[in-house]
Structure 1
Amino acid sequence: MEEIIHIYHTNDLHSHLEQWPSIHKLVTERRRWHEEAGDEVLVFDIGDHMDRWHPLADATRGKANCRLLNEAGYDAATIGNNEGITLPFEDLDSMYLDKNFEMLIANLYNRDGSRPGWAKPYHVYISNSGTRIGVIGITVNFGMFYEQLGWKLNDPIDELKNCVEQLKDETDVIILLSHLGIHDDEMIAGMFPEIDVILGGHTHHILLEGKEVGSSLLAGAGKFGYYTGHVTLKLDKNTKQILHKKAILYDMNEEDQAQVEQQMAEGYFLEGKRLLAESVAFLPEALKADPMQHSELSRMLTQALREWCNADCAFMNAGMILKGLKQGNVTKFDLLEICPHPINPCTIRMSGAELKEVLLQTRDEKWPHLQIKGLGFRGTVMGVMEYDGIEFQRKGNVTQVLINGRLIEAKEHYILAIPDMFTFGRFFPEIQRAVEKEYWLPEFLRNLLEWKLTSY
């Protein structure tokens, strides 16, 4: 006799809720079909379900995402870096209080070493045939950022080892929800042959039919809800041995959305827009923005960046502002719409010689048209560079750099404020090498713009 276990999984939705009604329909209908056939069904999310670019996610600080997982009947989830480090402590700590599913994060702790009341390292599900299914969750090790927000994040591999040791003799099947990325998943498959299935996320990898590494089956469903994953396990009912594993992906873009589903997706957006309708400022005139031109709005945000961080100078790419603001009331929704990035301010202490090298690099003609993906950036192109506290003067064949009206001194030290994405990408080697960096969390750039507009 055989037992069949169906596992559906999503990852890295990033609040692209336009796909969610189709995903909801798929997993709820499939659960009904399989249960009517006498099979087991489990549904998991592997993190970064929430992304604060969407007004509903931003307005509810992810609580709406928790609600959607409840409504779709998910059994468990883990968190990604978007849940973990784009929310203040109190917002993440309250995000899952109304959950109807298990939150599995083995490597997340409170600062005092206790576990959050809403999370645990693993959960064991018992099938109707008595099969014991251990499910573990781990998230990517961005410990420095978690620590700044009031959390303690341990090494995920160390925590995974502890969980596997506890589960290997107490379960028949072990499943890992891994928001670590494909390379770590492959490494884990080699290190832990006890893990039967690794459902992955973070690197947005697409494994159309899964990938076998050692004795583990790896699965990944891309990003933005473009795919929903389905893993099927066949077991011997008596011995509990796995006889067969299979992974496939369903292309959600091929799903024909009924009008009611389209209206649901639009409703999520409108609900968030309504919740963010609070006025934060009044503009006597419109403020235009264009990534290829200097504008008052991008200059204003660059100035706010320097002032907020109490830095000597600042620079920022104008492409950070996606469009201008109209005359009249400015709402929180307006600011989210023009500056949706989960990008924080960052300050770096550098010598004058290092700073000058960086600032001269920012004048490279390649920057304005450079297309950027990832690093939290939600725009399209870099755009021109805006500066505050920084001037360039041409003297003969030499470009001189002035900080607050004075020639930069090679051996002096300066505090530079920038968007944090410049510390992650390979934009400026001197910034990457800098030791004295400070990330200003949890404020996003749009929070700084709101702060600046209130005194406009």
Structure 2
Amino acid sequence: MNIQCTWTSIRCLRLGILLLFVLGLFGCAALSESEQVSKNEQRDETISLKILHLNDIHASIGDFAYIATYIETERKKNDYFLHLNAGDLFSGDPVVDLQQGTPIIELLNKLELNAVTMGNHDFDYGQEHTAAAKDLSNFPWLSANTIVVDKTTPIQQPKPYVIFELEELTVGVLGLTQSPPSTAPASIEGLEFLDLKETIEKYSFLRDEVDVFIGLTHVGIQADRMIAKQYNLFDVIIGGHSHTVIENPETINHTAIAQAGANGLYIGDITIDIDRKSRKIVNIDGRLQSVEELQERDEEIQAMVEQYIDEMATTLQKVIGNTKTGLTRVGRNERDVPLGNFWTDAMRHMTGSDIALTNNGGIRNSIEPGEITSGDIYTVEPFQNDSVEFKMTGQAIKNVIEFSFKRGNQIDLQTSGLHYTIFTNDKGQYVDSLLEVDGKAIDLDETYHVITNSYLASGGDGYHFEGEVILPAAGNLANALIIYAEQIMKEKGSIDYEDEGRILIRRAE
């Protein structure tokens, strides 16, 4: 009897434990459902704003069909959505550049771009073409620090900012442009570019008028960081100009900074969560979407791109000038040559630098006497190189010249603004050099503005340009050659060059 009672007690104990376990499961399930309700309520209490952004496209339209599909897909998925661009739509692809930007504007209209900030290369085609591009656009061009001071200029005063009313949400976007922009001086005549700090302070009142405040800038990553550090103003800075690849937004002083590289290789993807009641931002997430990884494309956009490319077969035959002398590269390893002189003069014309240097390896062909076409320019400079301007000491410049000759015991750099003589021993090896600017020996302690191509600036062929980068993207080289050719034709009627003694090789005494 006692034994039965004992077993019965054990069975009762087991049943009790089982019952408690089952109740515990139900309790956990109920708690889980409660947590889920809480999460749903939390989601109801926030508004999510999706922003897709690009910058420094530089006329690269080849992958626009893939970009279009990604943008449209995200637009349909999100109730609150903006598509923004941080400038430099132009300069980089002859398909676009030789039509003064029309193809990319038409494509961005199809992609329903909401706003773009004016970049320095958006002035490259000249004022009439910049104005025409703005007129063709279905989206606003922004630049709060660009002021039209000459009312006769074709460029109309750009909007400083735009406020988007997105149902429950207001989003302010302030545009800022490099000051002054790196482009041909003639392209910005009659325009004044205000100091960034002065402009930001002028429009700081917008902070209190919107739920989300975005700086859409084309000033470079270092300036963006300075703005974030000194002003607790913007929620997000979407930047351009420095071609910086920022995988995830970096945060400085509660400001998220984003940039999506260049040339349409990435799409920036940002999500901003805003508390519905307080209108305060509770979270910002961001990433870059590699365009190369995208699989789906918009066939209508693809057909447009292919049509533009087909049209260029004829457009590349456009005559931009003529030459009686021809522009040869022959002899470039021993001295300055006509094409090298024209080329580097065009680079200096672009920025007004003291000195221009370009490497012989980048000069891929000669131009024969007769008509010069756009296709000729893109044949002699097929790389679509940009250019970079440095502030360098005379000694640093001399070091570059020394390195250039020692690479192969021959001339490797064509030049404008600088005349240099290489002194060699009886074996043809470098001994010393004499550098002159404006007929005077270069001051080794003085600083000069030197423009070169982006290949050399980034260390190509082992070069090292020691100095301060003052213009990281000073202008597309092919475009600079075309603009300068047109300038010479207006002034002289023919593009004629000789070897001028800019570069000499002498035996050391």
Partner residue, 2:57: 13
Kept after mapping to 2: 8 A contact 1:9/1:221: yes
Aligned residue for 1:212, secondary structure, equals strand
Kept after mapping to 2: 8 A contact 1:6/1:231: yes
Q: Show the 5 A alignment for 1:280-295.
A: 280-281=321-322
Aligned residue for 1:96, secondary structure, equals helix
Q: Indicate how the Cα distance of structure 1 residues 319 and 93 shifts in structure 2: closer, same or farther if over 3 A, else same.
A: farther
**Is residue 74 of structure 1 aligned with residue 113 of structure 2?**
yes
Q: Show the 5 A alignment for 1:294-305.
A: 298-299=339-340, 301=342
**Is residue 91 of structure 1 aligned with residue 129 of structure 2?**
yes
Distance 1:55 1:127 in 2: 38
Letter in 1 for 2:68: H
**Is residue 104 of structure 1 aligned with residue 142 of structure 2?**
yes
**Per-residue deviation, residues 211-253 of structure 1 (Å, max 9, x unmatched):** 2222222221111111101111222333322232211211111
**Per-residue deviation, residues 375-430 of structure 1 (Å, max 9, x unmatched):** xxxxxxx9713468957485989878699xxxx66599xxxx9984389968487x
**Is residue 170 of structure 1 aligned with residue 200 of structure 2?**
no
Deviation at 1:74, TM superposition (A): 0.5
Q: Show the 5 A alignment for 1:14-163.
A: 14-34=58-78, 39-51=79-91, 53-84=92-123, 86-112=124-150, 117=156, 119-129=158-168, 131-142=169-180, 149-150=188-189, 151-163=191-203
Letter in 2 for 1:27: I
Residue among 402, 405, 409 paired with 1:364: 402
Aligned residue for 2:288, secondary structure, equals strand
Distance 2:47 2:348 in 1: 63
Distance 2:115 2:197 in 1: 20
Aligned residue for 1:229, secondary structure, equals strand
**Is residue 199 of structure 1 aligned with residue 268 of structure 2?**
no
Distance 2:347 2:163 in 1: 50
Flag structure 1 segments of 5+ consecutive residues without an equivalent: 346-353, 371-381, 434-438
Deviation at 1:146, TM superposition (A): 7.6
Distance 1:42 1:449 in 2: 40
Residue among 421, 437, 440 paired with 2:452: 421
Deviation at 1:42, TM superposition (A): 0.5
**Is residue 3 of structure 1 aligned with residue 41 of structure 2?**
no
Partner residue, 2:373: 331
Kept after mapping to 1: 8 A contact 2:184/2:349: no
Kept after mapping to 2: 8 A contact 1:46/1:200: yes
Distance 1:278 1:40 in 2: 45
Aligned residue for 2:132, secondary structure, equals helix
Deviation at 1:308, TM superposition (A): 9.2
Letter in 1 for 2:64: W
**Per-residue deviation, residues 20-79 of structure 1 (Å, max 9, x unmatched):** 221122112321232xxxx1111000011212x311332222233222221110000102
Distance 1:44 1:207 in 2: 16
Distance 2:102 2:179 in 1: 23
Residue among 314, 318, 321 paired with 1:278: 318
Q: Indicate how the Cα distance of structure 1 residues 447 and 367 shifts in structure 2: closer, same or farther if over 3 A, else same.
A: farther
Partner residue, 2:10: none
Q: Indicate how the Cα distance of structure 1 residues 126 and 112 shifts in structure 2: closer, same or farther if over 3 A, else same.
A: same
Distance 1:207 1:157 in 2: 24
**Per-residue deviation, residues 197-222 of structure 1 (Å, max 9, x unmatched):** 11112222222222222222222111
Kept after mapping to 2: 8 A contact 1:292/1:368: no
TM-score, with normalisation over the residues of structure 2?
Answer: 0.66
How many residues were matched structurally? Answer: 415
Q: Indicate how the Cα distance of structure 1 residues 396 and 10 shifts in structure 2: closer, same or farther if over 3 A, else same.
A: closer
Aligned residue for 1:206, secondary structure, equals coil
Aligned residue for 2:136, secondary structure, equals coil
Q: Show the 5 A alignment for 1:187-266.
A: 187-256=226-295, 265-266=305-306
Partner residue, 1:318: 360
Distance 1:410 1:202 in 2: 35
Q: Show the 5 A alignment for 1:437-456.
A: 444-448=480-484, 451=488, 454=495
Return 318-327 or 246-255, whichever deviates more. 318-327
Q: Indicate how the Cα distance of structure 1 residues 324 and 295 shifts in structure 2: closer, same or farther if over 3 A, else same.
A: farther
Largest Rg, 1 or 2:
2
Distance 1:168 1:182 in 2: 22
Distance 2:213 2:220 in 1: 19
Residue among 299, 308, 317 paired with 1:268: 308
Deviation at 1:299, TM superposition (A): 4.7
Letter in 2 for 1:338: V
**Per-residue deviation, residues 348-393 of structure 1 (Å, max 9, x unmatched):** xxxxxx99x89965642436869xxxxxxxxxxx971346895748
Distance 1:277 1:140 in 2: 34
Distance 1:171 1:402 in 2: 57
Deviation at 1:455, TM superposition (A): 5.3
Kept after mapping to 1: 8 A contact 2:357/2:451: no
Partner residue, 1:378: none
Deviation at 1:185, TM superposition (A): 1.9
Residue among 218, 228, 233 paired with 1:179: 218
Kept after mapping to 2: 8 A contact 1:314/1:390: no
Percent identity (aligned): 22
Partner residue, 1:351: none
Deviation at 1:122, TM superposition (A): 0.7
Aligned residue for 1:444, secondary structure, equals helix
Kept after mapping to 2: 8 A contact 1:342/1:444: no
TM-score, with normalisation over the residues of structure 1?
Answer: 0.73
